[in-house]
A = this chain, B = another copy of it.
Amino acid sequence: MPISVAIVEDNSDLAEEITQIIADAPDLRLACCCRNMRNALSRIPAAAPDVVIMDINLPDGSGIEATARLKQQLPGSEVMIFTIYEDSDEIFQALEAGASGYLLKRASTDELLHSIRDLMDGNVPMTGEVARKVIHSFQKKRPCAPSANTAADKLTPRETDILELLAKGFPSKEIASLRCISVQTVNSHLKSIYDKLHVHSRTEAVIKYLG
């Protein structure tokens, strides 16, 4: 059974090109091709395609919004964003809206085909740069709260460093290995921190730091 694909793309040339690519692929079938959000929202639910290739920049709205609304009606369909934008916010918004893939328009024909099949296999096709951004945002959990360090500037650099790790939720053992020191040392620093902040537990120290 061929994979049915719908396209939402306002650029006629590009839409034609993709249409042709789908048509040429023996295992794919074109279910629907829309030029704007209104058509997409009215026609795609009826077509119930396996995969929707979605442009972000549509004349009458955003592909992200369209994604969110389509996913409500068609939770079983996979939406792949296909766009020139690689702005982090766009990416996150699209993923939040329920997109399962994020391909940049500079991708090759092969990449596009491969991504569609990937989607059906349960994979999450993403351009490398996009995946990096997603992963990266994971790796920096909480970079905020820099300025008003309240009354805790009596801490030594090391203590401040460790307090920041505390505020990210790491247990002492993790802190020790992240900083390549022993748990006892972490312990000593904690004792100093509690002393200087006038608190008696890890939780209180974190509250003081975050508050």
Contacts and interface: CB of A to CB of B under 8 A. Distances in A.
Nearest to A144: B211
Q: What's the number of copies of this chain in the assembled complex?
A: 2
Contact of A121 (B65, B72, B128, B134): B128
Give the dominant DSSP class at A's interface.
Answer: helix
Contacts of A168: 207
Interface in A68-110: 68-69, 72, 92, 95-96, 98, 100
A27 interface: no
Contact of A177 (B69, B203, B210): B69
Interface stretch (A2-10, A15-23, A135-143, A154-162): A135-143
B124 A69 contact: no
Contacts of A132: 122, 124
A210 to B, nearest CB: 5
A126 B131 CA distance: 10
Interface string A162-197: 000011110100100110100000000000000000
8 nearest A-B pairs in the assembled complex, by CB-CB distance: A124-B131, A169-B204, A123-B128, A122-B128, A65-B177, A95-B138, A210-B210, A169-B207
Given A65-B177, A69-B177, A124-B131, A166 B203 contact: yes
A131 B126 CA distance: 10
B139 A95 contact: yes
Given A68-B178, A211-B142, A169 B135 contact: no
Contact of A171 (B121, B201, B206): B201
A64 to B, nearest CB: 9
A139 B204 contact: no
Nearest to A133: B124
